[in-house]
Chains A and B, each alone.
Chain A
Amino acid sequence: MTLWLRKNWIPVALLAAGLVLPNLVEHYGNFILASILVYSLVSLSLTILIGFAGQISIGHAGFWALGAYGSALVVTELGAPFLVGVLVGGIVAALFGAVVALPALRVQGHYLAIATLGFALFVQQVLFEWESLTGGRQGLFVPRPEIFGYELTDDYAYVYLMLVIVVLLTWMTENFRRSHTGRALMALKMSTVAAEVAGINRARHIIIAFMLSAFYTGISGALYAHLIGFLSTETFTFTTSLSFLTMAVIGGLGSYVGALLGAIYLTMAPEVFREFKDAQMVVYGLTLILCMQFLPGGLASLPERLRSLRRRRT
């Protein structure tokens, strides 16, 4: 037991913090926690796509939008329960993830990035123009989450629900990473040729990676929709995709703590830097540059970095 705890104390400590924190903060704090959890799922999805599979996407706002609108519409138009909506949001995004994976089978790097960007712009435009379904320019009001007849009007309860979802999906991700498919993806990332020679089907695995990543982002979008209560296509822009990518890189690709740190950064940066008034974006930009300059491995690499600095000094 002690050995298990020593090995797993970080997830245990994080979970404990997650359970305690909502009780220590008021509405504003709980909304911030909820936002962190929403973004952490996107961060996790990019960990899978970029960290595990070595693919790039600057179009994740597209999957996020599909999840958000998917869930909102299933709940408002078809009267489906909230959790079903969230699941549908994830599935819709995953299906489109398979489509976006197709160019990834042929192109890499910059070209893939542009293909994903095109996808996100396409999704945004269609959602905007399809007025009868999405409200288009008028936007779409989304009801608060409701579980078994209880409406979660307060973010306090919603945070706990999200916590369950995030823990569940993180656990799934860890299992996925250790699965045959997860290991195959990492092999492909290290050397495509070597992996293929070893009998790994590249196409199949890339499609799985995109679908899984899109699924997580879709779930996140769905949770976001019910948290904010109003959807407008202006939310799902190229800037949003870029901020997602920034979040993943700042946090540190390939580690769960990094994914969480990235989400905390994306949520907290505007809250903290707001104090700088007109200089807000300058400070934000500076922290990004400094972070990349001194912590190329992201925030998650900070302890390692400090340790190596200390070693050099002694």
Chain B
Amino acid sequence: MVANSSRRDVLMLGLAAAGTMALPRLSWAAEPGVTKDKIIIGSYLPLQSGLAAGATQLRDGADAYFQHINDNGGIHGRKIQWIVENDSYNPQQTVAVVKKLVDRDGVFAIVSTLGTATNLAALPFLAQRKVPLINPAGGHERLNAPTDPNVFGLLPVGQDIGAAMANYAVDKLQAKRVAIFFQNDPFGKDPRDGAVETLAKRGVPVVAETSYVPSDVDMSAQAVAMRDANPDVVLMMCITKQGALLLQKAQQLGWKPKFLAQNTMGDPITADLAGEALDDVMVILFTAIETMDTPAVREANALIAKYHPETKPGYWTYLGIAGAKVFVEAANRVGPDLTRAKLLEVLYNFGRYEPGVVPPVNWSRESHGGPKTFGFAVWKGGKLNVVEGW
């Protein structure tokens, strides 16, 4: 051993190790996480990372809904305790958190989580323990079209989004020549692939494809290249900033095709970024928007205003609520004798269920992933209006 070490080093090591040692909370309940008056469930969210903003909103949304259920008597008399842990978007920490939640806190299920790599890292352990995982938000087939029997996704597969956009362009916007503008990473490429495949099937040519990376700040080349190809519809698989830049460039060029964009362009901030250039731009929806005038959305907005007034309703909040709603609905259907096996059985026989804040799910034993139907909305004077519900 190198110099400078002494008995105290070992003492310190012992103390540090003791931290890992604290024995598990012993629970004699028949089912983990279910007591006489409580249902303990958990979540891991990247609350300290680049995804922190979304994670916080998702947390507040789900939390508002759980509080609302608790204030109205809970699920068959049991109050929901939702333990949220930060994993800093680090898979090692996710696995640690998930083992802590399942083994130490003894959670019954995991509901409304966020992060692709982190969710995927948690899958093997959750599958091994048969812990239900509801609404793992991320961009991967194993999350959105899950084959694991314990995973239930609420987000669509990227390819399905692109396919739906292409079909809408052909059927409703009478597209004859389509251009595609996409972010050159999984987020943009998956929907792009879906759109290209669908357009080929429908016999509509893709006359131009342009892309960008998230650090790009000038969309002139993309705008000019697409204009020169003369498309009648432009599909946009992009994030808000570059989408707004492209629309402004198109406006400067006096170029006016029909734009149909991914849901990211439905964020309220898009209006500030793109200004007038946003008028008539269409957006595909797979979570609600604040102005949607349906009972479910009005209720969601009211709950957020009541329990988390600091948070604005939006994509992530609605998604968090959706996961919470699905769990509450399923647990309610199980009845007073709640077990994991029974919850899974209910979810396999869920059939068509409308959370209202996301498109309806239609779950069976074979298929328990995200939606295949979507809504569409259009920007007018800085306001997003629903054209077609799901």
Contact = CB atoms under 8 A, between A and B. Distances in A.
Interface stretch (B14-22, B287-295, B309-317, B366-374): B14-22
B103 A28 contact: yes
A25 to B, nearest CB: 5
B121 A228 contact: yes
A280 B95 CA distance: 18
A228 B91 contact: yes
A303 B9 contact: yes
Contact of A271 (B3, B23, B96, B120): B96
B226 to A, nearest CB: 24
Contact of A264 (B13, B117, B120, B124): B13
B144 to A, nearest CB: 12
B92 interface: yes
Contact of A26 (B2, B104, B120): B104
Given A31-B96, A31-B99, A230-B121, A274 B9 contact: no
Interface stretch (A111-119, A190-198, A207-215, A294-302): A294-302
Which of under 10, 10 to 19, 20 to 34, or 35 or more describes the interface residues of B? 35 or more
Nearest to B9: A257
B20 A25 contact: yes
B93 interface: yes
Contact of A33 (B20, B100, B117): B20
B224 to A, nearest CB: 27
Contacts of A306: 8
B48 interface: yes
B121 A261 contact: no
B277 to A, nearest CB: 30
B1 A11 contact: yes
B211 interface: no
Contact of B17 (A17, A26, A141, A300): A17
Contacts of B252: none
B117 A261 contact: no
A278 interface: yes
A98 interface: no
Contact of A274 (B6, B23, B85): B85
A13 interface: yes
A32 interface: yes
A264 B18 CA distance: 12
Query: Among A33, A234, A277, which residue has the most Cβ atoms of chain B within 10 A?
Result: A234
A232 B13 contact: no
B218 interface: no
Q: Is the interface of B mostly helix, strand, loop or mixed?
A: helix
A143 to B, nearest CB: 10
Contact of A10 (B9, B19, B92, B123): B9
A10 B5 CA distance: 8
A28 B42 CA distance: 15
Contacts of B96: 28, 31-32, 35, 270-271
B120 A139 contact: yes
Query: Among B6, B17, B97, B100, which residue has the most Cβ atoms of chain A within 10 A?
Result: B17
B91 A230 contact: yes
B8 A27 contact: no
A260 interface: yes
Contacts of A304: 4, 6
B2 A303 contact: no
A153 interface: yes
A137 B185 contact: yes
Interface string B186-202: 10010000000000000
A29 B18 CA distance: 10
Interface of A: 8, 10-11, 13-14, 17, 21, 24-29, 31-33, 35, 137-139, 141, 144, 153, 177, 224, 227-230, 232, 234-235, 254-257, 260-261, 264, 268, 270-272, 274, 277-278, 280-281, 299-304, 306
17 contacts: A28-B104, A31-B95, A137-B189, A138-B186, A144-B124, A230-B117, A257-B1, A261-B9, A264-B17, A270-B90, A271-B100, A278-B47, A299-B12, A300-B9, A303-B4, A303-B7, A304-B6
Interface of B: 1-10, 12-14, 16-17, 19-21, 23-24, 47-48, 85-86, 88-93, 95-97, 99-100, 102-104, 116-117, 120-121, 123-124, 128, 140, 185-186, 189
Given A35-B96, A261-B13, A302-B12, 15 more contacts: A8-B1, A21-B17, A25-B23, A26-B24, A28-B24, A28-B100, A229-B124, A232-B91, A234-B117, A255-B1, A271-B19, A300-B4, A302-B8, A304-B4, A304-B6
The 4 A-B pairs of least Cβ separation, nearest first, read A232-B117, A303-B8, A137-B186, A28-B99
